[in-house]
Amino acid sequence: MLTDIKMAAAGGEGAISSSLPLPPIKTYGQYTDENLRRRVAPPPPPVPPANDTYTMFGNTFCMDDPIIQPLESQGIKRLYPLNFDHRKELKKLNHSVLANFLDLLESLIRCPDSAKRVEKIEDIKLLFIHMHHLINEFRPHQAREALRVTMELQKRQRLDIANKFQLHLDKVTETVQSALQALPASEDGEDSKLMVPTELTPEQDAEAADQTEDKLTRLDAIMCELMDAA
C-alpha cells in the first residue's frame, strides 16, 4: 500500500504530499534489533479490506477492477476492433507510428510552427498508448507461462532426484547381496561344535568336571617330566 510523504515546507507553512512510496531504507531501517527490543518499531501496513478501494501512485483503484482495464474506461478512443489479432494490430500500429513520424519530420522541415506538428505528436502518443495496452494484455498469459515453466522445472528436478536416489538404492542393494554371497558356507560339523548348551544336567556337570580333572592331571605329569629332565 502506498504511503504519502509529508514534508514541511521551508517556511513552515503547509506540507508537501507525494504519491510516491517511501524509500526502502525508510521502512526496513526502522526494524532494528534495538527498536524491536524497545518495541518502538512501526507496525506493518494494514491490509486493505476486500471489496474496497486503495490508492497507488496517486490513483484510486477498486478491488473489483479488472487487471487490464479497457481503453474506454480511461477515456481513450479505441483504434482497433473488439475482435482482433494482437500481432497483426501491433504491426499495423508500428507502421502507423513510422508513417506519422515521417509526417512529423516533414511538417517540422516545412513549417515548424504549424498546428499540424502538435496534431502529429498527439497521434503518435495515442498510437504508443494502444501499443502499450496491447502488450499489457499479454501479461496474464505471460504470468501463466512463467508459472508453468517454473512448475515443469521443479518437476524435472524432483524426478532427477528420485532417479538418482533409486540408482543409489539399487547399488547399495547389489553391494549387500554381493557381500552376503561372498560369505563362506558353514558346515554342519563346525556349527555343531560352536553350539553350547544353555543348561546342563547333573550327569553332564559331573562328566565335564571329570574331563577337567583329567586334563589337569595330564598337565601336572608333563610338568613333572620337564622338571626331572632339567
Domain boundaries, the chain: 1-65, 138-181
Percent of the chain having pLDDT more than 70? Answer: 69
Q: What share of the chain is helix, strand, coil (3-state, %, to 5)?
A: 60, 5, 30
Q: How far apart are CA 53 and CA 120, in angstroms?
A: 37
**141 pLDDT higher than 80:** yes
**Average pLDDT score, the chain:** 77
- pLDDT of 163-196, one tens digit each? 999 999 999 999 999 888 888 776 554 544 445 5
Are 44 and 51 in contact by the 8 Å Cβ rule? The answer is: no
pLDDT score of 127: 92
**125 pLDDT higher than 90:** yes
Are 21 and 4 in contact by the 8 Å Cβ rule? The answer is: no
149 HSE (CA, 13 A, CB side)? 6
**43 pLDDT higher than 50:** yes
Q: Which region holds residue 14: left if phi is over 0, alpha if psi is between -120 and 50, else beta?
A: left
Average of pLDDT values for 121-140? 90
* Long-range contacts from 177-186, C-beta under 8 angstroms, 24+ separation: none
Q: Phi first, then psi: give them for residue 229, nearest 5 degrees.
A: -65, -30
pTM for the whole structure: 0.46
Q: How far apart are CA 48 and CA 61, in angstroms?
A: 12
pLDDT score of 180: 87
**83 pLDDT higher than 60:** yes
Q: How far apart are CA 71 and CA 128, in angstroms?
A: 13
Helix (H, G, I), strand (E, B) or coil at 111: coil
pLDDT score of 226: 66
Are 134 and 70 in contact by the 8 Å Cβ rule? The answer is: no
From the number of C-beta atoms within 10 Å of its C-beta (0-12, 13-18, 19+), residue 13 rates as exposed
